[in-house]
Amino acid sequence: MNNNYTGKKAVVTGGTHGMGLAVAKALLAGGAEVIVSGRNPKNAEEAKRELGERAHVVVSDVSSMKDVQAFGEYVEKHFGKIDFLHVNAGTSILEPFLEVNEETYDRIFEVNTKGAFFTVQRLAPLIHEGGSIVFTSSVADEGGYPGMSVYSASKAALRSLASSFAVELLDKGIRVNVVSPGFIDTPSMGVAGFTDAERVTFQELGDKVTPMKRHGSSEEVAKAVLFLAFDATFTTGSRLAVDGGIGQNLHSL
């Protein structure tokens, strides 16, 4: 895989921690210029320290249409055109469907689906011909998982959006793909509000149910994202699972 991104300009939403941060680090290591966004000011400050002076770090909430437009203006002002957009910002709240309230439902869809849609709508016109978009979805974007009804639906909708975008951007030479991670070692294990103890329990569950009997790393997801972004030049509208086999109907003895 080509790890030389010299001269490339990339944008990563949800890039201040976890998988998005790993993608940003890999891009910078390869020589790219990078703008990352995240809604948490503390995470943004930590990301600035980790990524260094070459990275632009912007506090922006994808669920806010005002923020999405302002972020688009920032990207256009500082980069003009871009080569790669990684739509990674997302949130997850795990609850049985009988306990989900309207606020939780709306928040998940505002971030995972609506925010992703309008981020692409704003930034797609800035992508060079031959550029690409990669969405971070989830292994839960198909099938059924307890406590994930709303989250799974939001990610399934995201996959559907990605397919439509892939078709509509064909004439512009822009590829659109999806990476669907399973249990990944991130600060929150992908679930908002986890305590340290809950995170450990969730991680242990993931190691048990994943056929490869371990959780993945953010760096492993980043490799898949960047493969789709730059190397997979004859691939669009596809979904790449990075899940240790959990979503592939594999059954270990």
Catalytic residues: 151
| Closest to 239 in 3D by CA, of 168, 118, 135, 112 | 135
Are the beta carbons of 113 and 136 closer than 8 angstroms?
Answer: no
| CA angle at 110 for the pair 78 and 230, rounded to the nearest 5° | 45
Residue 150 corresponds to which tokens in the numbers above? 């709303």
Please report the DSSP string for 14-33 in residue order: T-SSHHHHHHHHHHHHTT-E
Name, in order, each residue with C-beta under 8 angstroms of 252's C-beta and a sequence gap of 6 or more: 211, 213
For residues 138 and 154, what is the distance between their CA atoms, to the nearest angstrom?
10
For residues 46 and 134, what is the distance between their CA atoms, to the nearest angstrom?
24
For residues 112 and 182, what is the distance between their CA atoms, to the nearest angstrom?
16
